Amino acid sequence: MKSDEDKLIDLILQWEEASERGEDIPPDRLCADCPELVKPLSDKISRLKKMAWMSKVGDTGAGLSAPDPMSGQTLAGRYSIEWPVGEGGFGRVYRAFDTELQRHVALKVAITKSTGVTNDLLQEARRAAKLRHPNIVSVHDVGRHDGSVFIVSDLIEGSSLADVIKTELPTPQQAAQWIADIAEGLQIAHDQGFVHRDIKPSNILIDQHGKALITDFGISVTTDQINRGQTRNIGTLSYMAPEQLAEEMTLVGPTADIFALGVVFFELLTGKHPFEAKTDSKRRQAILLKMPPSPSSIRQEVPDQLGRICLKCLAKHPSERFESASLLAKAIRILPTSKRRVSKMWLIAIPCILIVASPLLRRGDSKTPSKQNVTALPSVPDAKVAASVPLKVSPPKADGFYFDGEHRIVTPIRRSLPTTIEAWVKPRQQQMSAYFVGSGIRDELGLSIGTINSQFVGQRVRGALITRAIVEIGEWTHLAAVFGESETRLYANGKLVESGATDLSSIGQPKIFSGGELVEAGGVSKGSTPKRDEEAPFVIGGIGIKNRMFQFVGEIRGVRLSNVERFKKDFVPDEIFEPGSKSSDSTVLIYDRRSGGGEVVKDLSGHGNDGRWETSQPTGVPSVPKRDGS
Amino acid sequence: MSHTTELNDKLERLRNGSQEAREQLIEHACERLRILTQRMLKKFPGVQRWSQTDDVLQAALLRLHRALATVQPNSAAEFYGLAATQVRRELLDLARHFSGPEGIGANHKTDTGSIVGGKGEQDAEPSNVEGWSRFHNAVEALPNEQRQVVDLVWYEGLSQPEAAEVISISLATLKRRWAAAKMTLCEVLEDWAVE
């Protein structure tokens, strides 16, 4: 006979199961045979009801768990949406490809479908689209899709000043240069009647060349304000001017932007906020009443002249600040500054690419709302977003081959043992997992090298050999993997960093290197599922995996494949791979910048194993390049 | 392929040392962390924009991936358990990051209003980041059997049949533990609300 406790548990489960079907059975009905349990059961059910939210595990309110309905769609007949890269108050941001201009763009789709809101957003976007300046992220197009507004703007690769401040402070001269550039961009906006009102580090982007660009996401403010019925005090407290905080809206004008830029300047110079406070209310008070310290009192190397310019921006009353943004820029420009090399640290500090939606600026009308940002960062720390230009071949500036996460080189080489893979590699960004030289299909069939979170990894048929060696972002590293019949050894810059058994359990008869002979595809073709012994050829730059987030982004300046165990102990890596430098017969493939910049990548080993660039296939199965004349 | 069959296939490959299967599971854990982070922060008025939250989430995702990429689990249950634990700890860290006077949330607010939102009596879902911290800690303190179920069903987002399969228990047992866990957690959250 069951105890009361067991009975209670059974009753709870009955209630739960009914609840999952949408029924709410009253406790007294469940306890028809045991009325003494009504009370305890009621208590338990009450608790379970309060915890019903735990059953809605996928309900985030943002819908990220659901397949994105926009992916794959083409908007306005030209913007082919690839995948979502961020989300904010405004809506979702996608990486898209403009099929007419053949370039990648950032495309933002508003959440709201309210007619009034969409009209307002369209109006704002159209106004902002007229702003053109080298230091303002450009809006290119706006439109409607399924009742929502979408906005097309530059896709910016780089980082933001927020990242810079968090990682490594620039020199005072560099900071001043950026502030002057931004001020000049702001002046153009001010001249056209716009006030930004949300200048802050995360709204200032630094592109790959170190150029600063203002992004503005005024649309989100428009949305916010309309949705919340707010008309005032939209912005970010830490960067709001005293007149904004005091709600002296008639004073809020271009000089509010100058104040905010002064805060950013102060942070760039010192790494600290000019109005340090532990709580918002104290910060509010400090902005309204407290004088900021001199930047040079915090960081000695800040020249007094720059410090004074910064403090002038931070004056309490608008009339005490620079009268215009262009005057601020001029004040900086006339200072004697030495041209210093811009440290690239911050350009790579955050391994992600900012996708920027439009700089949408509003007119300085006190009755109209200001703006907020919806900076959209990629939702995955990875190569989900690749370079903004769809490269098929390496760009001229690259030391070797540049891989954008979408293209790769396919060779005629097949897996066999022994094999030595060598490559000089310079990753562009940290990736969760990216394999870049080896068998075109991973996992059970793979012999390849790559990185997992920057750690050098060798894939040997089954399972990976993970090393502790870090492949630094932005630096050249020589990686070598020797896949012997019985042992796999991994070398980073010529030093043995890991070794382990080569698992042959899933291989049938090992293939023989193709040498100069073209090996037929063996049934492997695009879209097919290869069988175990029909492994895909070696590829360079993006070992087949379905998810693009695993595609390598970076440079490879040289690759050498050998059908011997080339290294058995530590060695000094060859800077340039030359045929015949060791054993010419065993070197079956060499690619580097001498291989040409066209579609065909010339094999320098003398074995004729030329490769071809191709777009990474969604299936991950590369097509075997045909040899000329065959 | 049905979802359960697919899961079985994935687990089998994981047991056989498949790196791809592992990556798929890690990707799944990352996606769960992203979803749960959004859920945790969506009602926090101070963090309404993702411009800075994403930075922090990216770092959390990288840590999660790094942690899971290097573990050598003996079983799928162990892997899922580790993944859920990592997800929970990252969520706790994120909660700490976004709350408090020095938290990022401070930069987002335009007023000094309370960050604690009101809740109906019928719903004990935490309404602020401190509440979520309490919740995650409460899960950590659950008896092992209950925590294991919460890990799989809530943190990892598996269906109840899938979770039962992963830890090799009957569906009825799993349901029992799931209900018990929810009641325990409710008590903790209610106690906190009273305090």
- Say whether pLDDT at B50 is over 90: no
pLDDT of residue B174: 92
| Residue A247 is assigned to a structural domain of this protein | yes
Strands A611-615, A407-410: parallel, antiparallel or unpaired by DSSP? antiparallel
pLDDT of residue A112: 61
Nearest-CA distance B141 → chain A (Å): 17
Q: Is B42 on the interface with A (CB under 8 A)?
A: yes
| Residue A128 is assigned to a structural domain of this protein | no
Of B102, B107, B183, the CB nearest to A47: B183
Helix (H, G, I), strand (E, B) or coil at A224: helix
Please check whether residues A479 and A540 belong to one and the same domain.
yes
Please check whether residues A433 and A546 belong to one and the same domain.
yes
Residue B28, both tokens: 């799944």
Distance CA A260, CA A276 (A): 15
Q: How many CB atoms lie within 10 A of CB A396?
A: 7
Residue type, A571: F
Using a CB-CB cut-off of 8 Å, the residues of chain A touching B31 are 64-65
Q: Residue A513 sits in a domain of what CATH number?
A: 2.60.120.200
pLDDT of residue A533: 39
If we measure between CA atoms, which residue out of A596, A630, A586, A618 comes closest to residue A412? Answer: A630
pLDDT of residue A311: 95
Nearest-CA distance B79 → chain A (Å): 16
Please check whether residues A324 and A442 belong to one and the same domain.
no
Using a CB-CB cut-off of 8 Å, the residues of chain B touching A9 are 176, 179
Q: Which of B15, B20, B156, B194 should one mutate to test binding to chain A, selecting the residue with the greatest count of A CBs within 10 A?
A: B20
Please check whether residues A167 and A240 belong to one and the same domain.
yes
Distance CA A165, CA B78 (A): 40
Distance CA B113, CA B99 (A): 14
Model pTM score:
0.39
Note the pLDDT tens digit of each residue in B145-189: 999 999 888 888 888 888 888 888 998 899 999 999 999 998 888
Nearest-CA distance A234 → chain B (Å): 7
Q: Show the domain range for A14.
A: 4-55
| Residue A62 is assigned to a structural domain of this protein | no
Distance CA A375, CA A162 (A): 11
Q: What percent of chain B has pLDDT over 90?
A: 12
Please check whether residues A465 and A610 belong to one and the same domain.
yes
Q: In which band, very low, low, confident or very high, does the pLDDT at B83 lie, cut at 50, 70 and 90?
A: confident
Residue A539, both tokens: 């590829």
Scanning every residue of chain A, which has its alpha carbon at the shortest distance from the alpha carbon of B114? Answer: A280
Chain A segment 71-130 residues within 8 A of B by beta carbon are 86-89
Nearest-CA distance A621 → chain B (Å): 15
Please say whether the beta carbons of A305 and A335 come within 8 A: yes
A49 and B31 in contact by Cβ < 8 A? Answer: no
Of B52, B107, B183, the CB nearest to A44: B183
> Mean of the pLDDT values across residues B40-61?
54
Tell me the CA distances in angstroms from A19 to A13, A24, A45, A207, B34, one per residue in order. Answer: 9, 6, 10, 53, 28
Nearest-CA distance B90 → chain A (Å): 15
Q: What is the dihedral of CA A423, A426, A429, A431, to 10 degrees?
A: 20
Q: Is A439 on the interface with B (CB under 8 A)?
A: no
Using a CB-CB cut-off of 8 Å, the residues of chain A touching B51 are 88, 162, 202-203, 373-377
Q: Which of A215, A350, A433 should one mutate to test binding to chain B, selecting the residue with the greatest count of B CBs within 10 A?
A: A433
| Residue A361 is assigned to a structural domain of this protein | no
Distance CA A388, CA A372 (A): 25
Helix (H, G, I), strand (E, B) or coil at A96: strand
Chain A segment 538-557 residues within 8 A of B by beta carbon are 545, 547, 549-550
Please check whether residues A595 and A468 belong to one and the same domain.
yes
pLDDT of residue B192: 64
Q: Any idea what DSSP says for residue A379? A: S
Nearest-CA distance A32 → chain B (Å): 22
Q: Which of A20, A38, A55 is the last residue of a domain?
A: A55
Please check whether residues A311 and A422 belong to one and the same domain.
no
Please check whether residues A471 and A591 belong to one and the same domain.
yes
Tell me the CA distances in angstroms from B39 to A56, A307, B42, B128, one per residue in order. Answer: 11, 43, 5, 10
B17 and A462 in contact by Cβ < 8 A? Answer: yes
If we measure between CA atoms, which residue out of A293, A303, A272, A292 comes closest to residue A174? Answer: A303
Tell me the CA distances in angstroms from A2 to A8, A30, B7, one per residue in order. Answer: 10, 16, 37
If we measure between CA atoms, which residue out of B76, B62, B36 comes closest to residue B157? Answer: B36
A457, β-bridge pairs: A450, A466
CA angle, A381 then A387 then A393, to 5°: 135
What ipTM was assigned to the predicted interfaces of this complex?
0.76
Distance CA A404, CA A56 (A): 38
| Residue A369 is assigned to a structural domain of this protein | no
Nearest-CA distance B61 → chain A (Å): 7
Using a CB-CB cut-off of 8 Å, the residues of chain A touching B60 are none
Q: Is B193 on the interface with A (CB under 8 A)?
A: no
Please check whether residues A412 and A287 belong to one and the same domain.
no
Q: Which of A311, A330, A348 is the last residue of a domain?
A: A348
Taking chain A (630 residues) in runs of 10, the rounded mean pLDDT of each run is 78 84 80 87 88 63 45 83 63 79 82 65 74 85 82 77 82 94 91 81 82 68 41 68 81 88 96 88 88 93 93 92 94 68 34 33 31 26 27 46 81 86 86 77 65 77 72 88 87 89 49 30 32 62 61 87 91 85 74 84 90 66 45
pLDDT of residue A266: 96
Chain B segment 80-109 residues within 8 A of A by beta carbon are 101-102, 106-109
Residue A143 burial (C-beta neighbours within 10 Å; 0-12, 13-18, 19+): middle
pLDDT of residue A71: 65
Please check whether residues A319 and A417 belong to one and the same domain.
no
pLDDT of residue A343: 36
Q: Is B2 on the interface with A (CB under 8 A)?
A: no
Nearest-CA distance B193 → chain A (Å): 13
Helix (H, G, I), strand (E, B) or coil at A527: coil
Q: Is B173 on the interface with A (CB under 8 A)?
A: no
Please say whether the beta carbons of A100 and A111 come within 8 A: no
A544, β-bridge pairs: A441
Residue type, A518: L
Chain B segment 110-139 residues within 8 A of A by beta carbon are 110-112, 121-125
Q: How many CB atoms lie within 10 A of CB A575?
A: 11
Note the pLDDT tens digit of each residue in B93-145: 777 766 544 444 333 332 222 222 333 345 677 777 777 888 888 998 999 99
CA angle, A522 then A525 then A531, to 5°: 55
Scanning every residue of chain A, which has its alpha carbon at the shortest distance from the alpha carbon of B23? Answer: A433
A381 and B58 in contact by Cβ < 8 A? Answer: yes
Please check whether residues A272 and A408 belong to one and the same domain.
no
Q: How many domains does chain A have?
A: 3
Q: Over chain B, what is the mean pLDDT?
A: 70
| Residue A225 is assigned to a structural domain of this protein | no
